[in-house]
């Protein structure tokens, strides 16, 4: 606290990201990064863009990347919004679409992405969290009430549980008065995207990221897809905040990533395979594993304290994520690694258990 601060700063509760360790040779299964390298074509494109043109600003509209994403998902370029990571996209969503002058709260699950309440704090948005059921499933009927907006990840984080498209459609049928945001950070690992519903529902916004399925967490590129009218609201806020959220290298790399569909499908498929193998191995060690359609697993063990287990794993050079929060403090979130990393994890756990 300081007399120099704007007063509202005292009231903020910032998000705490998972650790990015300075030490090498840790097995890092704590922030859901992709264990595979980005496509070689992405690296080439970034190399090619690394030249004297860096003295010039990047395209403020990111038009070429927007068009590439639009073509890929069979939309129009004015249905695509770009941001510096999907976290920035989400921040603009809260500001541009969720902040209304009424008493109605926005709604999201109690077990969900912990950045949502942080944005509510930043922009003074009233929210209510809706409990997931005792199997940690989102119950959409809980959202059939007056609200200023609805947001949830699909698959949900940190549970990994996916909502079928038919259920999302049901929610959209019931909720036409406010924006419904589906945060699809993990959709490419087996879930069904809501993008196909955009044409029919003017209040649907789908948010995706290059950080997870396209192995580009360090490049910081995220995007939103929706009808042009929603996108325009986001552009207005973005252009009141930062004209150039994506730099030249990010624009070039992201475009190459979308264009290398073969590589993308291949690594997503490998993660799905590795997920199945890891689930079996964890279940043989008597872990309970929630059904995951993401690149991580949410697991608990009757005999082992989750926080202690995270510490024991860290001592063995493996980091996973523990959330010290109600309902989930006996769970660990474990990102799916390479086959070798997953084997090391299982070996370490077997050792701790015996
Ligand atoms: C990782 C993640 C994001 C943020 O991704 P960035 O694009 O890296 O900012 C957004 N939502 C959820 C649910 C995530 O897990």
Q: What is the mean pLDDT of residues 65-80?
A: 98
pLDDT tens per residue, range 165-199:
999 999 999 999 999 999 999 999 999 999 999 99
Instruction: Give tens-digit pLDDT for 29-56.
Output: 999 999 999 999 999 999 999 999 999 9
Q: How far apart are CA 141 and CA 234, in angstroms?
A: 28
Render pLDDT for 141-158 as a digit per residue (tens, 0 to 9): 999 999 999 999 999 999
CA 313 vs CA 34, 278, 346, 348: distances in Å: 20, 16, 10, 7
Going from the Cα of 90 to the center of ligand 1, the distance in angstroms, rounded, reads 9
Report which secondary-structure segment, H or E, holds 230.
helix 228-238
Q: Is the CB of 183 under 6 A from ligand 1?
A: yes
Q: Is the pLDDT of residue 263 over 90?
A: yes
Could you report the per-residue pLDDT of 93-112, keeping only the tens digit for each?
999 999 998 889 999 999 99
Q: Tokens in use for 342? A: 């997953």
Residue 263: DSSP 8-state: H
- As to burial, measured by CB atoms within 10 angstroms (0-12 exposed, 13-18 middle, 19+ buried), residue 180 is buried
Sheet (strand 149-153) strand order: 80-83, 222-226, 204-209, 180-183, 149-153, 106-109, 127-130
Q: What is the pLDDT of residue 280?
A: 98
Q: How sure is the predictor about 18, in pLDDT bands with cuts at 50, 70 and 90?
A: confident
Q: Which of 248, 207, 6 is nearest to 113 (CA)?
A: 207
What is the number of residues in the chain?
354
Residue 255 has pLDDT above 90, yes or no: yes
Share of the chain above pLDDT 70, in %: 100
pLDDT at 185: 98
Query: How many angstroms does the Cα of residue 87 sit away from the middle of ligand 1?
Result: 6
22 pLDDT band, cuts 50/70/90, is confident
Q: Which CATH number fits domain 20-37+262-353: 3.40.50.150, 3.90.1150.10, 1.20.210.10, 1.10.10.10?
A: 3.90.1150.10
The domain segmentation of the chain, as residue ranges, is 20-37+262-353, 41-259
| Res. 24: pLDDT tops 90 | no
CATH of domain 41-259: 3.40.640.10
**From the CB of 334, is ligand 1 less than 6 Å away?**
no
Cα atoms found within 13 Å of the Cα of residue 88, Cβ hemisphere only: 20
Which residue owns the Cα nearest ligand 1 atom 5? Answer: 86
Structure tokens at 19: 């650790």
Instruction: Assess contact for 343 and 285: CB atoms under 8 A.
Output: no
Probe residue for ligand 1, chosen from 182, 209, 216, 321 as the CB with the greatest number of ligand atoms within 8 Å: 209
pLDDT tens-place string over residues 273-325: 999 999 999 999 999 999 999 999 999 999 999 999 999 999 999 999 999 99
Statement: residue 260 has pLDDT above 90: yes
Residue linked to tokens 């990111």? 62
């Amino acid at each position: 606290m300081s007399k120099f601060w704007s007063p509202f700063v005292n009231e903020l509760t910032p998000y705490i990201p998972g650790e990015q360790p300075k030490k090498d040779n840790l097995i890092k299964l704590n922030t859901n990064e992709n264990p595979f390298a980005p496509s070689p074509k992405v690296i080439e494109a970034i190399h090619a863009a690394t030249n004297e043109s860096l003295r010039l600003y990047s395209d403020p509209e990111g038009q070429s990347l927007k068009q590439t994403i639009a073509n890929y998902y069979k939309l129009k370029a004015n249905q695509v919004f770009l941001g510096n990571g999907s976290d920035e996209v989400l921040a603009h969503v809260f500001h541009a679409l969720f902040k209304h002058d009424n008493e109605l709260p926005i709604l999201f699950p109690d077990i969900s992405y912990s950045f949502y309440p942080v944005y509510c704090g930043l922009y003074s948005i009233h929210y209510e969290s809706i409990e997931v059921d005792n199997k940690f499933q989102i119950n959409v009927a809980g959202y059939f009430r007056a609200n200023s907006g609805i947001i949830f990840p699909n698959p949900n984080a940190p549970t990994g549980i996916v909502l079928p498209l038919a259920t999302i459609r049901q929610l959209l049928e019931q909720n036409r008065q406010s924006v419904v945001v589906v945060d699809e950070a993990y959709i490419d690992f087996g879930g069904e995207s809501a993008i196909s519903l955009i044409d029919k529902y003017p209040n649907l916004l789908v948010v995706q990221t290059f950080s997870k399925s396209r192995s580009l967490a360090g490049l910081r590129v995220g995007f939103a897809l929706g009808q042009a009218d929603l996108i325009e609201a986001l552009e207005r806020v973005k252009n009141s905040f930062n004209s150039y959220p994506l730099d030249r290298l990010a624009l070039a790399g992201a475009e190459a990533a979308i264009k290398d569909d073969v590589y993308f499908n291949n690594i997503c498929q490998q993660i799905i395979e590795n997920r199945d193998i890891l689930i079996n191995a964890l279940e043989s060690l008597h872990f309970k594993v929630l059904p995951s359609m993401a690149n991580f697993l949410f697991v608990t063990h009757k005999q082992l304290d989750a926080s202690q287990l995270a510490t024991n794993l860290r001592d063995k050079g493996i980091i996973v994520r523990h959330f010290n929060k109600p309902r989930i403090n006996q769970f660990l979130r474990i990102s799916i690694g390479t086959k070798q990393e997953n084997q090391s994890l299982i070996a370490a756990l077997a050792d701790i258990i015996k």
